């Protein structure tokens, strides 16, 4: 049986040599880089803003046991209902129970990585419930039967021509349709779904403790329609998304927008504080917030790596990562790809199955450099590697290899004894298929530096 790590290696190799994939990703991330550079220039002191965001997230993660009950109490005051879910299965059961009580058969859903994490679409469909993505990127990958490619831009791996071809095959639009024609067709198809849907499901970018609210950022308006027309609104949110005060949005909204897309502020920013009140005309009759753990408290228990929970899902580290830009988002086999996904996934889904992600890094540090909340991502990857070794998850032949290497490196006599000829033979014999498959193997000099130094500085007799 093929392991997840072995699938990663095969998939990575295929993507790395897919020139069309490389062209599309380089083009899309190139546009992102230009926009973000302009967006970040709006901050008078970006480093100060990052430090402030880091401190706020540090404080809230260290006091989750106090801040989350505050959110719950304040949300319930406005008629909202809070459900705590330990894992994906529990979250699925709770959502199904809500829908069965209401006799609901159709769902419209705005963009949410947490719903991808719990495989919500597949679960609802297996129970005879239609679940439709309304974010354009999510809608496109749903039509293709794919998973989102990127945390922020789900269809980043597709060109405009790819999408035009898909819409031509499915809906009869022109094969050379413009972006505007594609968007108009999607709007025409989705508007009717909003009006008929029984339930609207969203995620949330932030949980606001002092007002008992959720904050949602988007660029298309689909989340507002999803939370307005259906009679029931369910928001599924990871427990780490909480912030102490509504005043903190003054910092986090611009940080999320600039690092995510280069905008000064996302087009639609919505704060929802429960179901429709007696004096309000819009909104659902019932509103639920499902607070999802699903491995987050396991990461919280890791004192050195818990800062992975500070993440605001801007996607900046993915766009900066040379590995992600080569192997692509689907290769990671997890909703949270790229550097931050490599940090948190082994703790949330098991180190044994996902330890390889922490090794799929150049450790260049670019991910840490661009993070808006100053997560020391590349250090977290090293700590994951350490933990994998400490837990005896490395293969025995790998352990033996490092034992031999360490012994040789700690002994100058042994290092010099293994001359260039022996070292070149070792490289050719043991590493040609792995290190040397797509590159020319280095050639070790016949004599070491220390040997040459000794010869050059021999005392004259």
Q: Side by side, which strands form the sheet with 268-272?
A: 242-243, 206-208, 213-218, 268-272
Question: Distance between CA atoms of 151 and 311, rounded to whole angstroms?
Answer: 12
- Candidate from 125-129, 158-162, 426-430 with smallest mean pLDDT: 426-430
- Candidate from 198-202, 296-300, 340-344, 436-440 with smallest mean pLDDT: 436-440
CB 341 within 8 A of CB 332: yes
Question: Distance between CA atoms of 76 and 289, rounded to whole angstroms?
Answer: 10
Q: How many CA atoms lie within 13 A of 24 on its CB side?
A: 17
Per DSSP, the three-state class of 246 is helix
Per DSSP, the three-state class of 375 is coil
pLDDT tens digit sequence for 427-436: 888 787 777 7
Residue range 262-285: mean pLDDT, rounded:
95
pTM of the predicted protein model: 0.92
pLDDT tens digit sequence for 364-400: 999 999 999 999 999 999 999 999 999 988 888 888 8
Q: Which residues of 44-64 are buried (b: 16+ CB within 10 A; e: fewer)?
A: eeeeebbebbbebbbebbeeb
pLDDT tens digit sequence for 7-29: 999 999 899 999 999 999 999 99
Residue range 90-109: mean pLDDT, rounded:
97
Quickly state the pLDDT bin for 461 (edges 50, 70, 90): low
pLDDT tens digit sequence for 293-338: 999 999 999 999 999 999 999 999 999 999 999 999 999 999 999 9
> Quick one: CA dihedral 254, 156, 139, 109, positive or negative?
negative
pLDDT tens digit sequence for 30-88: 999 999 999 999 999 999 999 999 999 999 999 999 999 999 999 999 999 999 999 99
pLDDT at res. 420: 76
User: Which residue segments constitute the domains of the chain, with CATH numbers given?
Assistant: 1-36+314-394 (1.10.1060), 42-294 (3.40.50.10420), 410-456 (no CATH)
Alpha helix locations (H) across 272-371? Answer: 296-300, 316-320, 322-327, 338-349, 351-354, 356-359, 366-370
Cα→Cα distances 116→133, 146, 205, 292, 293, Å: 11, 11, 15, 13, 14
The mean pLDDT of the chain is: 94
Residue range 429-446: mean pLDDT, rounded:
80
């Amino acid at each position: 049986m093929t392991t997840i790590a072995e699938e990663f290696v095969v998939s990575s190799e295929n993507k790395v040599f897919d020139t069309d994939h490389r062209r599309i990703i380089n083009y899309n991330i190139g546009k992102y880089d230009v926009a973000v550079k302009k967006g970040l220039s709006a901050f008078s002191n970006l480093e100060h803003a990052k430090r402030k965001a880091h401190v706020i997230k540090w404080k809230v993660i260290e006091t989750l046991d106090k801040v989350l009950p505050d959110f719950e109490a304040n949300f319930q005051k406005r008629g909202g209902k809070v459900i705590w879910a330990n894992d994906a299965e529990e979250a699925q059961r709770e959502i199904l129970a809500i829908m069965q009580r209401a006799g609901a058969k159709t769902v419209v859903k705005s963009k949410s990585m947490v719903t991808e994490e719990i495989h919500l679409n597949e679960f609802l469909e297996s129970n005879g419930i239609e679940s439709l993505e309304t974010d354009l990127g999510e809608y496109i990958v749903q039509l293709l039967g794919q998973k989102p490619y990127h945390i922020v831009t789900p269809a980043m791996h597709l060109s405009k021509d790819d999408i035009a071809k898909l819409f031509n095959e499915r809906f009869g639009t022109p094969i050379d349709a413009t972006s505007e024609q594609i968007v108009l067709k999607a709007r025409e198809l989705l508007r009717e779904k909003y009006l008929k849907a029984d339930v609207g499901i969203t995620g949330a970018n932030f949980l606001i403790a002092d007002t008992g609210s959720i904050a949602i950022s988007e660029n298309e308006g689909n989340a507002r329609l999803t939370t307005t027309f259906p009679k029931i609104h369910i928001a599924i949110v990871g427990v780490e998304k909480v912030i102490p005060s509504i005043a903190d949005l003054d910092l986090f909204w611009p940080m999320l927008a600039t690092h995510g897309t280069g905008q000064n502020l996302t087009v639609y920013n919505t704060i929802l504080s429960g179901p429709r009140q007696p004096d309000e005309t819009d909104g659902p009759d019932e509103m639920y917030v499902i607070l999802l753990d699903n491995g987050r408290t396991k990461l919280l228990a890791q004192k050195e790596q818990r800062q992975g929970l500070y993440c605001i899902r801007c996607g900046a580290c993915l766009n900066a990562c040379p590995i992600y830009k080569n192997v692509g988002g689907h290769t990671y086999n997890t909703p949270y790809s790229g550097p931050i996904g490599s940090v948190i996934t082994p703790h949330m889904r098991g180190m044994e199955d996902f330890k390889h992600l922490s090794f799929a890094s150049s450790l260049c540090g670019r991910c840490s450099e661009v993070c808006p909340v100053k997560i020391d991502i590349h250090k977290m990857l090293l700590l994951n590697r350490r933990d994998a070794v400490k837990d005896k998850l490395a293969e025995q032949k790998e352990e033996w290899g490092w034992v031999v290497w360490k012994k040789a490196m700690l002994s100058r006599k042994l290092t010099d004894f293994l001359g260039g000829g022996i070292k070149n033979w070792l490289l050719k014999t043991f590493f040609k298929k792995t290190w040397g498959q797509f590159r020319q193997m280095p050639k070790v000099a016949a004599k070491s530096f220390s040997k040459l130094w000794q010869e050059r500085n021999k005392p004259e007799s």
